[in-house]
Amino acid sequence: MAILIDPPAWPAHGTLWSHLVSDTSADELHAFARLMGFPRRSFDLDHYDVSAANYDRAVALGAQPVAGREVVRRLQLAGLRVRQVDRERVTPLRRRQYLAEQWTALGVSLGVGTGAGSTPPEGTDAARGRAWRELGDELIARWNEPHRSYHDERHLEDVLLALDHLESRGERIAPPTLLAAWFHDAVYAGSAGDDERASAALAVAALIRLGCDRELIDAVEASIIATTPGLAPADPGPALAHLLDADLWIFASSPSRYAEYAAAVRREYAHVPAADFAAARTGILAGYLDRPALYVTEAARHLWERRARANVSAEIERLREWARDAPR
């Protein structure tokens, strides 16, 4: 039972990297990574990458230095190793596992669910626990509707991971923010405004059935409505600011991930002629760039602002070239 780290020997982004693993469980690894201040997004199926600058700190906190081959061997013995050839198959399974864990933890924090593997007592608490689990299943099913290309469970995972990243930087993520994240695109037909209102109505009805506090329900409803493009208040409170920033994390993703995102958005609007789509999309993105900052919180601006502006600017340029070259 140990946290292991190999020497920094893998070059990327101008430095060398180590692999941080557990030979016992992913839960043990996540707990140690949180102690290091690493966001969950840094988890890569069976390890965290640790920069050379953080190697000594990891060892000081209890990670055992071992050779790279020993890391692989111990992962294999523990049944935790994910081979490169298996990544495409394992990634969606781990995503679903992460979402299930997060939904369970949120229910526990709100007092309407039970911990993983626990059996609630009979009576009202048991009924609420079952209702919470069934609601989670319903939401996951909605996020996996076949007409979705971008607004699917990968987007939900991205939003939750972005909130976790903000939390790792000292932000306090409130339960209404997490609930609004789960519901904010639960209804998605590609109609801005209508989708947000329908998603908010779904959340209100579900949370009333669960007997949640009215103040919580109202906060969730308002946050979901505020995710409507162009409708965000100028000075949102922390709970809403975190949701708005997490919802736009995709702007700051890697160039390859951003390209996948842009292509997925186009697929969701495949019914719109190319020239019309390019014009509308350019207008939306330009509106974001016209803001003094894309992100509301200082933590998000520090983490994501520069990369987000570069990605959005590059997409606008591609859309303008596309519009110029499109047949008339």
Chain segment 57-113, per-residue pLDDT in tens: 999 999 999 999 999 999 999 999 999 999 999 999 999 999 999 999 999 999 886
Segment 24-39 shows an average pLDDT of: 96
For residue 249, is pLDDT > 50? yes
Q: Which pLDDT score, from 0 to 100, does residue 120 have?
A: 47
Mean model confidence pLDDT for the chain: 92
Q: Tell me the pTM.
A: 0.92
Name the DSSP letter for residue 193: T
147 CB-contact burial (10 Å; exposed 0-12 / middle 13-18 / buried 19+): exposed
CA distances from 121 to 45, 107, 241 (A): 35, 16, 38
β-partners of residue 65 are: 5
Q: What single DSSP character describes residue 36?
A: H
Position 328 confidence tier, pLDDT thresholds 50, 70, 90: low
178 phi-psi bin (left φ>0, alpha ψ -120 to 50, beta other): alpha
Residue 271 in this model has a pLDDT that exceeds 80: yes
**Cα angle 300, 302, 308; round to 5:** 70
115 — pLDDT class (breaks 50, 70, 90):
low
pLDDT at position 78 is 94
Percentage, residues of the chain above pLDDT 70? 94
Any idea which residue has 């059935």 for tokens? 209
Look at the block and give the residue holding tokens 């000594």: 56
Residue 228 per-residue DSSP state: S
